[in-house]
Structure 1
Amino acid sequence: MMELLQLILVLGTVVGVADGNTVLVKDNAGQAITVKLACINSPKATSQASALAATQRLKQLLPSKSRVVIRSTEQLNNGRTVGEVFVDNRSVNLRLVEEGNAVIDQETLYNCYETKTQFLIAEANAKNKRLGLWQQSNR
């Protein structure tokens, strides 16, 4: 039996990008929300070059004032929203993985049940082509 999951969509406008994993958005009600990108991890500031590349790419994909749709997957205790961000019906989360700017977060991948296979294929392709953070990797 298929489980019915409530789909929570938030329409908003990008205010800024905090890092390669976090976007600041103002929803249609004017509320500022912090969105952590679901199902992926981008490099932390410890690996400077790839962290900077991931943040820069996210800023290119989500320039200020971009109109976005967020499929919210969960609310964190600190008030942040976790979600998949879409621009023109395309998942930005998935694009970051396709381009090698992020990897799949195995612990939260279940939150992206509709696109799970796409995420897995995208990561395998990025690894295979040694894109982005896979360049110097021998994983």
Structure 2
Amino acid sequence: MATPVLTEVLAVVLATTPIVIQRARVLSIGDGDTLRVSEAGRTLTLRLACIDAPERAQAPYGARSKAALVRLVPVGSELSVRVQTKDRYGRSVAELFSSEGRNINLAMVQQGQAFVFHRYLKRCDRKAYLEAERQAQRQRLGIWSQQGITRPWIFRTRE
């Protein structure tokens, strides 16, 4: 029989251990940080972890961000998915990896197509994401090409 302390430790480990789903297939892209995949006969809506892409209404950046995600993971492509948690809408929050092992979430930041979502960064490689964002800013890529874009988490509060 497990002690209360051991039970608590196991609960923490299980809650923080990401789950890897192999061979999910992309069904559709909703925007720059949301897509639907098919995995083992079920359909999942995924929210990309640790990033926040411009909203569709944030022209032209929302459309550009979605187009970047489509280029990285076209409909029909296979992915590995590391689920971290569920969000308040029931979506699985995950890091995505191409069949070649490329971190798709990180690539979106590297291309200047998404912001690092600092508030939710603890389960991702903080150093890699922050450095990718600094590089995109220095190179004035995507969302960093002009000054003044409203961060998506602020934009959503104004809608």
TM-score (norm 1): 0.90
Match of 1:127 among 125, 130, 137: 137
| Aligned residue-pair number | 134
* Code of the aligned partner of 1:42: A
Q: Distance in 1 between matches of 2:67 and 2:133?
A: 19
**1:96 — aligned with what?**
108
Q: Distance in 2 between matches of 1:43 and 1:7?
A: 26
Gaps in structure 1 of 5+ consecutive residues:
none
Structure having the higher strand fraction is 1
Match of 1:33 among 44, 51, 55: 44
Query: Does the residue aligned with 1:64 lie in a helix, a strand or coil?
Result: coil
Q: Distance in 1 between matches of 2:137 and 2:33?
A: 19
**1:76 — aligned with what?**
87
Moved over 3 A (4+): none
**2:146 — aligned with what?**
136
- 1:48 is displaced (CA, Å) by 1.2
Greater Rg by CA: 2
| RMSD over aligned Cα atoms | 1.6
- 1:131 is displaced (CA, Å) by 0.5
Q: Distance in 2 between matches of 1:77 and 1:100?
A: 26
**Percent of pairs identical after alignment?**
31
Q: Deviations over 1:11-69 (max 9, x none)?
A: 21111101111011001x11100000000011112321111000011011111111101
TM-score (norm 2): 0.79
5 Å-filtered alignment, 1:55-66, equals 55-66=66-77
Match of 1:23 among 23, 31, 35: 35
- 1:77 is displaced (CA, Å) by 3.7
**1:110 — aligned with what?**
122
